[in-house]
C-alpha cells in the first residue's frame, strides 16, 4: 500500500518495506490519495492540476475552511476540471474570500471533465456569467452530501448545468442569487439534472424566473426534494420552459413566492411544449401576486398523480382548468341582511 500526503509542491510516499522517497509533483497514480492541508490553497490548486492528469483522489482536512483570495484564471477560483477529479471534503468549506477584489466562481467543469464533490460546502462564488458556485459546461458534475450556499451569478446562482450531466444526492442548495434566472440551479441547453433527497431553500431570481430551479431546454428529475422559500418573477419554486421535461416525485413545493406561478411555472413557447409530471408530491402555501399560486400552466402539459395542490394564494392553478385534477376553492360570500327603512330613519354607515 502507498499513502500520499500532499503538502505544497512535493509528494511524500511511504510504502511497507520501502525507504522514504521524495517524488516530483504529478507522480501519483489514479489509485492514490492526495491530502491537502487546511487552507493550503497552492496545495489544492496543484492537487487539482495533478488529478486532471492522473485521476488521483483529493482529500481535504476535516472541517476546515479553504479561502480563495484571488482567481486561478479570469473566471474561476480553482483550475478548470478537464479530467476526472474527486474531492472529499470531510465537512470542509471552499469559499471565495468576502473581501476579494475580483469576482470569480469556485468550480468550472469543461467538456469531457468529471468532478465529484463529497461532504463539501461551496460558498461565496461570484460570476457575471453563469454558475456562481459551479458551472458545468458539457461535462459531468456529481454532488454528494454537498452544500452550495450564498453564491451569486447572472444565471444559475448556485449551480449552472449547461448541456452536461448534473447529479445532486443529499445536497442542499440554499440562499443563492441569480440577477437574472435560475436562483438556485439552472439546467439548460439539453442538460440533464437528477436530484434526490436534498433541498432548494431561499434562493432568488431577482429580475427573472426560476427562483429555486430553472429548467430551460433540459430534462430534470427531482425525487424527495424540499423546494421551499424561493422567489422569482415566474416560478418562485421551479420554472419549466421551452420544450423541457420536468419530473417531480415525492417532492414538496412550499412557501415559494412569485408574480406568477408561486410553486411551479410551466411555460410553453414556439420552441416546444413544456411537460411537467408530479407524482406523490405536494404543492402548498405558495403565493403568486397575480395568478397561479400553486401552478401556472401556460399552454404546457401538467400531469398530477396522487399529488395535492392545496392552500395556495390567490389560487391553486391558473388558468382555471389548465391542470387536470387541480381545483380552486370557491369563496361564496353571504349577502348582507336587508333592512326595511321607515320614513325619517337616518342612514348610517356600518361600523
Q: What is the pLDDT of residues 47-80, one digit of tens each?
A: 999 999 999 999 999 999 999 999 999 999 999 9
Does position 300 have pLDDT exceeding 70, yes or no? yes
Give domain status of residue 31, yes or no.
no
Does position 21 have pLDDT exceeding 90, yes or no? no
Q: Which helix (H) or strand (E) holds 130?
A: strand 126-130
Residue 266 in 3-state DSSP? strand
The C-alpha atoms of residue 196 and residue 212 are separated, in whole angstroms, by 15
Give domain status of residue 252, yes or no.
yes
**In the chain, % of residues over pLDDT 70:** 85
Give the mean model confidence (pLDDT) for residues 270-275.
91
The C-alpha atoms of residue 257 and residue 237 are separated, in whole angstroms, by 7
Q: What is the pLDDT of residue 331?
A: 54
- Res. 40 pLDDT band, cuts 50 70 90: very high
Give the mean model confidence (pLDDT) for residues 102-124.
98
Q: What is the pLDDT of residue 20?
A: 31
Q: What is the pLDDT of residue 291?
A: 97
Q: What is the pLDDT of residue 270?
A: 86
The C-alpha atoms of residue 226 and residue 237 are separated, in whole angstroms, by 10
Give domain status of residue 249, yes or no.
yes
In this structure, how many other beta carbons lie within 10 angstroms of the beta carbon of residue 193? 25
Q: What is the pLDDT of residue 271?
A: 83
Does position 290 have pLDDT exceeding 90, yes or no? yes
In this structure, how many other beta carbons lie within 10 angstroms of the beta carbon of residue 98? 10
Contact 311, 287 (CB under 8 A): no
- Res. 269 pLDDT band, cuts 50 70 90: confident
In this structure, how many other beta carbons lie within 10 angstroms of the beta carbon of residue 223? 17
In this structure, of 16-20, 91-95, 179-183, the range with the lowest mean pLDDT score is: 16-20
Give the mean model confidence (pLDDT) for residues 258-283.
96
Q: What is the pLDDT of residue 143?
A: 98
Range of the domain at 225: 209-328
Q: What is the pLDDT of residue 32?
A: 79
C-alpha cell, 36: 491537502
Give the mean model confidence (pLDDT) for residues 135-162.
98
Give domain status of residue 240, yes or no.
yes
Does position 13 have pLDDT exceeding 60, yes or no? no
Does position 25 have pLDDT exceeding 50, yes or no? no
- Res. 253 pLDDT band, cuts 50 70 90: very high
Give domain status of residue 87, yes or no.
no
Give the mean model confidence (pLDDT) for residues 183-202.
98
Does position 10 have pLDDT exceeding 50, yes or no? no
- Res. 341 pLDDT band, cuts 50 70 90: very low
Give domain status of residue 274, yes or no.
yes
Contact 51, 80 (CB under 8 A): no
Q: What is the pLDDT of residue 225?
A: 98
Q: Which helix (H) or strand (E) holds 49?
A: helix 41-54
User: Which of the 8 DSSP states describes residue 217?
Assistant: S
**In the chain, % of residues over pLDDT 90:** 83
The C-alpha atoms of residue 309 and residue 253 are separated, in whole angstroms, by 9
Task: Write down the mean pLDDT value for the chain.
Answer: 89
The C-alpha atoms of residue 78 and residue 44 are separated, in whole angstroms, by 8
- Res. 18 pLDDT band, cuts 50 70 90: very low
Does position 9 have pLDDT exceeding 90, yes or no? no
The strand pairing partners of 42, in sequence order, are none
Number of domains observed in the structure of the chain: 1
Does position 87 have pLDDT exceeding 50, yes or no? yes
Q: What is the pLDDT of residue 48?
A: 98
The C-alpha atoms of residue 61 and residue 224 are separated, in whole angstroms, by 31
Amino acid at each position: 500500500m502507498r499513502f500520499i500526503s500532499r503538502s505544497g509542491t512535493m509528494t511524500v510516499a511511504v510504502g511497507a518495506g520501502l525507504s522514504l522517497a521524495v517524488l516530483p509533483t504529478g507522480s501519483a497514480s489514479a489509485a492514490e490519495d492526495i491530502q491537502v492541508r487546511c487552507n493550503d490553497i497552492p496545495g489544492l490548486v496543484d492537487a487539482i492540476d495533478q488529478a486532471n492528469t492522473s485521476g488521483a483522489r483529493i482529500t481535504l482536512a476535516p472541517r476546515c475552511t479553504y479561502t480563495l483570495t484571488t482567481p486561478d484564471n479570469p473566471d474561476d477560483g480553482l483550475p478548470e476540471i478537464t479530467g476526472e477529479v474527486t474531492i472529499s471534503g470531510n465537512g470542509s468549506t471552499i469559499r471565495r474570500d468576502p473581501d476579494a477584489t475580483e469576482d470569480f466562481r469556485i468550480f468550472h467543469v469543461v467538456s469531457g471533465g468529471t468532478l465529484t464533490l463529497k461532504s463539501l460546502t461551496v460558498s461565496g462564488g461570484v460570476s457575471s456569467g453563469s454558475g456562481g458556485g459551479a458551472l458545468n459546461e458539457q461535462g459531468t458534475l456529481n454532488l454528494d452530501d454537498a452544500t452550495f450556499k450564498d453564491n451569486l451569478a447572472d444565471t444559475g446562482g448556485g449551480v449552472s448545468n449547461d448541456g452536461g450531466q448534473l447529479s445532486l444526492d443529499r445536497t442542499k442548495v440554499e440562499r443563492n442569487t441569480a440577477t437574472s434566472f435560475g436562483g438556485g440551479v439552472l439546467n439548460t441547453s439539453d442538460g440533464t439534472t437528477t436530484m434526490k433527497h436534498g433541498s432548494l431553500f431561499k434562493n432568488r431570481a431577482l429580475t427573472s424566473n426560476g427562483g429555486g430551479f430553472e429548467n430551460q431546454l433540459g430534462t430534470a428529475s427531482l425525487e424527495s426534494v424540499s423546494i421551499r422559500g424561493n422567489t422569482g418573477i415566474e416560478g418562485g419554486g421551479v420554472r419549466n420552459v421551452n420544450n423541457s421535461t420536468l419530473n417531480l416525485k415525492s417532492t414538496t413545493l412550499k412557501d415559494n413566492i412569485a408574480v406568477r406561478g408561486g410553486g411551479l411555472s410551466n411555460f410553453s413557447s414556439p420552441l416546444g411544449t413544456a411537460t411537467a409530471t408530479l407524482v406523490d408530491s405536494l404543492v402548498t402555501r405558495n403565493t403568486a401576486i397575480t395568478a397561479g399560486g400553486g401552478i401556472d400552466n401556460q399552454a404546457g402539459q401538467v400531469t398530477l398523480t396522487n399529488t395535492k395542490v392545496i392552500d395556495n394564494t390567490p389560487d391553486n392553478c391558473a388558468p382555471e382548468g389548465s391542470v387536470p385534477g387541480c381545483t380552486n376553492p370557491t369563496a361564496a360570500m353571504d349577502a348582507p341582511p336587508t333592512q326595511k327603512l321607515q320614513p325619517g330613519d337616518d342612514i348610517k354607515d356600518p361600523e
